[in-house]
Amino acid sequence: MIKHKYMILRRLTQIGVMLLYVGANFWGWKVLEGNLSASKLFEKIPLADPYAVLQMTVAGATLASDVIIGAVIITVLYALIGGRAFCSWVCPINMVTDAANWLRRKLRMNQVAKKPPVYRNARYWVLGLSLILSYLLGVAAFEFVSPISMLHRGIVFGLGFGWAAALSVFLFDLFILKNGWCGYVCPLGGFYSTIGRFSLIRVTHDAEKCTECMHCKEVCPEHQVLFMIGKESIPVLSGECTNCARCIEVCNDDALNFHIRSFAQQVKKEK
Amino acid sequence: MKNDAGNDRRKFLLTMARDVGLLAFGGFIWSAYVDEAVANKLALRPPGALKGKDFLKTCIKCGMCVEACPYDTLKLASPGENIPIGTPYFEPRDVPCYMCTDIPCVPACPTGALDVESVSTDGKLDINKADMGVAIVDEKNCIAFWGIQCDACYRACPVMDKALYLEYDKNDRTGKHAYLKPIVDPDYCTGCGMCEHACVTKKPAIIVRPRELVMGEVGTHYVKGWDKKDEKRLENAHEIHTVTPRSEKKAVDTLNDMGGLLDD
């Protein structure tokens, strides 16, 4: 097996999705038009960012059916294949934060860094706040500050100062807080965490094979979801897992793998 | 033991207070930023765009109108342009709206921020109903108002003789020439900006701005007495009597009452 199989696959999807959007704008490709906020697949199927649609609805917008159908399609899709799969397989900011995290490891910054505070829940507060502000201001509040949209839209339609937003995220993750943006702040990540709570594709841990080297915890951007490492043979059920498969790649003992979630098994365990 | 419980409660309350405080702090900065970010109302929007805040509310910033535009007229605002970020707009001096009869940008909109109804007549798309803005003429710097013959804007106007017509006037300075002054009729102007694009002066002397910025508003208490339709508004009008302590006397009596000023 290739060592970085999933990493390569993720980069291919991230860049591939981006390329399809860029191709639509510059060369008129009819595969995926628009951008991550809303798009059209093969000129027929509408797709839309359910979090943006939610904010707009709270802001009081009367929306056309296209965008609502699109939002439902995307919601169902990520609810099935792992909510935050968006974060590690599609979101363009992932490459920025991965780069920051890689540099942190190379510079051994994690050794000098203080133990990060456990405010992983901050993203849900930001999520709630974004909805309150959308309601009060009458516009989708996060959509006006989102570095994700700025970077993504910028690459497809013209960047302007959008690079500054991406650079800010990079610096934040590099110097201020490990996995800071994706792991603590981003409300879109919080949104997909909520949606993906019951998704089918799960990383599963086999404690009997585990030698407790803890490489997986080191590399995981959401290491709190790997609490069972070396202790229990259970799947990673937290919605905060991004299904990035970095833990699977670094595991030399084959103790971590993707599995389709089996609800039957869980029920048995709970009994 | 009791003390411990007190400490726990204190800790809990303080943590809560801190979290709520942080949230409010973030919320204020965030909302101040968004408020500023949506303040610019100068941008010209694609045809059929909802008005003002409704447009900002409904546009999802996907850029499908931009991709549908065959002339590269439309752009999405990027950070640093001081236009609500990610929303579509155009600058007619660069590329005006060429008023395609099939208006490809409008049906492309997935959210209804570009409203098909508003640019349709009897269920058929009708670009002449578009209201992207209104042209205004700077009479000081329009050379046609100097007496030089120029009708570049008039020739460029796709709703020629309705939205933009020439008014003839005699030129008293020479005594034998005419002025051909371009006049905009906002009732017909779609704001496509072809006039602004065509204007020959260094900085255009005819420009397009959003309608709500350009137009005044009269108020309902003025009635055009010469206009039968407008006059009709008076049909159901009735007198309004305001009664105050002064109403006891007639107005004339009040005026004639010298209040003892002339008594001597």
| Same domain? B43 vs B114 | yes
Q: How many CB atoms lie within 10 A of CB A127?
A: 21
| Same domain? A92 vs A113 | yes
Out of A178, A194, A210, a domain closes at: A194
Q: Measure the CA–CA gap between B187 and B210, rounded to whole angstroms.
A: 14
Distance of residue A132 Cα from the nearest chain B Cα, in angstroms: 9
Q: What is the pLDDT of residues B38-48, one digit of tens each?
A: 888 889 999 99
Query: Which of the residues in chain A have pLDDT under 70?
Result: 1-2, 113-118, 262-271
| Same domain? A39 vs A150 | yes
**Which structural domain, as residue segments, surrounds residue A64?**
5-194
Q: Is the CB of residue B133 less than 8 Å from the CB of residue B80?
A: no
Reading chain B (264 residues) residue by residue, the pLDDT tens digits are 456 667 888 888 888 898 889 889 989 999 998 888 888 888 999 999 998 889 999 999 998 999 999 999 999 988 888 888 889 999 999 999 999 999 999 999 999 899 998 888 888 888 998 999 999 999 999 999 999 999 999 999 999 999 999 999 999 999 899 999 999 999 999 999 999 999 999 999 999 999 999 999 998 888 888 988 888 888 887 888 888 887 888 888 877 877 777 766
| Same domain? B138 vs B104 | no
Regarding pTM above 0.95, the answer is no
| Same domain? B153 vs B80 | no
CATH number at residue B116: 3.30.70
Contacts with B211 (C-beta within 8 Å, 6 or more apart), sequence order: B131, B133, B134, B186, B191
Whether B210 maps to a domain, the answer reads: yes
| Same domain? A31 vs A153 | yes
- In this complex, do A52 and B60 lie within 8 Å of one another by their Cβ atoms? yes
| Same domain? A178 vs A264 | no
Closest CA to B92 of B234, B225, B206, B228: B206
Q: Which residues from B are below 8 Å from A51, CB to CB?
A: none
- Nearest CB to A144: which of B37, B78, B112? B37
Whether B193 maps to a domain, the answer reads: yes
Distance of residue B113 Cα from the nearest chain A Cα, in angstroms: 8
| Same domain? B165 vs B201 | yes
Q: Is the CB of residue A143 less than 8 Å from the CB of residue A58?
A: no
Is any Cβ of chain A less than 8 angstroms from the Cβ of B51?
A: no
| Same domain? A229 vs A255 | yes
Is any Cβ of chain B less than 8 angstroms from the Cβ of A62?
A: yes
Per the structure, the count of domains in chain A is 2
Q: SS3 for chain B, per residue?
A: CHHHHHHHHHHHHHHHHHHHHHHHHHHHHHHHHHHHHCCCCCCECCCCECCHHHHHHHCCCCCHHHHHCCCCCCEECCCCCCCCCCCEEECCCCCCCCCCCCCCHHHHCCCCCECCHHHEECCEECHHHCCCCEEEECCCCCHHHHCCCCCHHHHHCCCECCCEEEEEEEECCCCCEEEEEEEECCCCCCCCCHHHHHCCCCCCCEEEECHHHHCCCCCCCCCCCCCHHHHHHHCCCCCCCCCCHHHHCCHHHHHHCCCCCCCC
| Same domain? B119 vs B138 | no
| Same domain? A95 vs A185 | yes
Q: Which residues pair with A32 in a beta bridge?
A: A41
| Same domain? B158 vs B189 | yes
Whether B226 maps to a domain, the answer reads: no
With vertex at residue A106, the alpha carbon angle to CA A103 and CA A107, rounded to the nearest 5 degrees, is: 85
Q: Measure the CA–CA gap between A170 and A160, rounded to whole angstroms.
A: 18
Per the structure, the count of domains in chain B is 3
ipTM reported for the complex surpasses 0.85: no
Whether B173 maps to a domain, the answer reads: yes
Is any Cβ of chain B less than 8 angstroms from the Cβ of A196?
A: no
User: Which CB contacts under 8 angstroms, 24+ apart, belong to B121-130?
Assistant: B125/B101, B127/B47, B127/B99, B127/B100, B127/B101, B127/B103, B127/B190, B128/B99, B128/B159, B128/B188, B128/B190, B129/B190, B130/B47, B130/B48, B130/B97, B130/B99, B130/B103, B130/B190, B130/B191, B130/B192
- Locus of tokens 């102007």: B189
Residue A271's pLDDT is: 39
- Nearest CB to B61: which of A24, A149, A162? A149
Distance of residue A239 Cα from the nearest chain B Cα, in angstroms: 23
| Same domain? B49 vs B120 | yes
Q: Which residues from B are below 8 Å from A48, CB to CB?
A: 60, 62, 110
Whether B82 maps to a domain, the answer reads: yes
| Same domain? B176 vs B111 | no
Candidates B57, B87, B89, partner chain A, best to mutate (most A CBs within 10 A): B57
- In this complex, do A139 and B111 lie within 8 Å of one another by their Cβ atoms? no
Residue A221's pLDDT is: 85
| Same domain? B95 vs B124 | yes
Q: Which residues from A are below 8 Å from B76, CB to CB?
A: 153, 157-158
How far is the first Cα of chain A from the last one, in angstroms, to the nearest whole number?
38
Residue A268's pLDDT is: 45
Whether B253 maps to a domain, the answer reads: no
Backbone CA torsion sign across A179, A184, A185, A191: positive
Q: SS3 for chain A, per residue?
A: CCCCHHHHHHHHHHHHHHHHHHHHHHHCCCCEEEECCEEEECCCEEEECHHHHHHHHHHCCCCCHHHHHHHHHHHHHHHHHCCCHHHHHCCCHHHHHHHHHHHHHHCCHHHHCCCCCCCCCHHHHHHHHHHHHHHHHCCCCHHHCCHHHHHHHHHHHCCCCHHHHHHHHHHHHHHHCCCHHHHHHCHHHHHHHHHHHHCCEEEEECCCCCCCCCHHHHHCCCHHHHCCCCCCCCECCCCCCCCCCHHHHHCCCCCEEEEECCHHHHHHHHC
Q: Which residues from A are below 8 Å from B30, CB to CB?
A: 129, 133, 141, 145
The count of C-alpha atoms lying within 13 angstroms of the C-alpha of A116, restricted to the half-sphere facing its C-beta, is: 20
| Same domain? A166 vs A233 | no
**Which structural domain, as residue segments, surrounds residue B175?**
133-215
Is any Cβ of chain B less than 8 angstroms from the Cβ of A159?
A: yes
**Residue B88: closest CA among chain A residues belongs to which residue?**
A157
| Same domain? A117 vs A231 | no
Candidates A124, A129, A144, A150, partner chain B, best to mutate (most B CBs within 10 A): A144
Is any Cβ of chain B less than 8 angstroms from the Cβ of A31?
A: no
| Same domain? A180 vs A218 | no
| Same domain? B108 vs B172 | no
Out of A142, A168, A194, a domain closes at: A194
Q: Which residues from B are below 8 Å from A138, CB to CB?
A: 53, 56-57
| Same domain? A108 vs A84 | yes
Candidates B22, B23, B34, partner chain A, best to mutate (most A CBs within 10 A): B34
Q: Which residues pair with B136 in a beta bridge?
A: B207
Residue B264's pLDDT is: 63
Is any Cβ of chain B less than 8 angstroms from the Cβ of A117?
A: no
**Residue A138: closest CA among chain B residues belongs to which residue?**
B57
Residue B45's pLDDT is: 93
| Same domain? B45 vs B123 | yes
| Same domain? A61 vs A146 | yes
| Same domain? A146 vs A182 | yes
Give the largest CA-CA distance in chain A: 57
Out of A166, A194, A222, a domain closes at: A194
Is any Cβ of chain B less than 8 angstroms from the Cβ of A45?
A: no
Q: What is the pLDDT of residues A252-271, one digit of tens each?
A: 888 888 877 766 555 444 43
- In this complex, do A34 and B64 lie within 8 Å of one another by their Cβ atoms? yes
| Same domain? B22 vs B77 | no
Is any Cβ of chain B less than 8 angstroms from the Cβ of A63?
A: yes
- Nearest CB to B111: which of A64, A150, A158? A64
Size of interface A-B (CB pairs under 8 A): 138
Q: Measure the CA–CA gap between A17 and A110, rounded to whole angstroms.
A: 32
CATH number at residue B143: 3.30.70.20
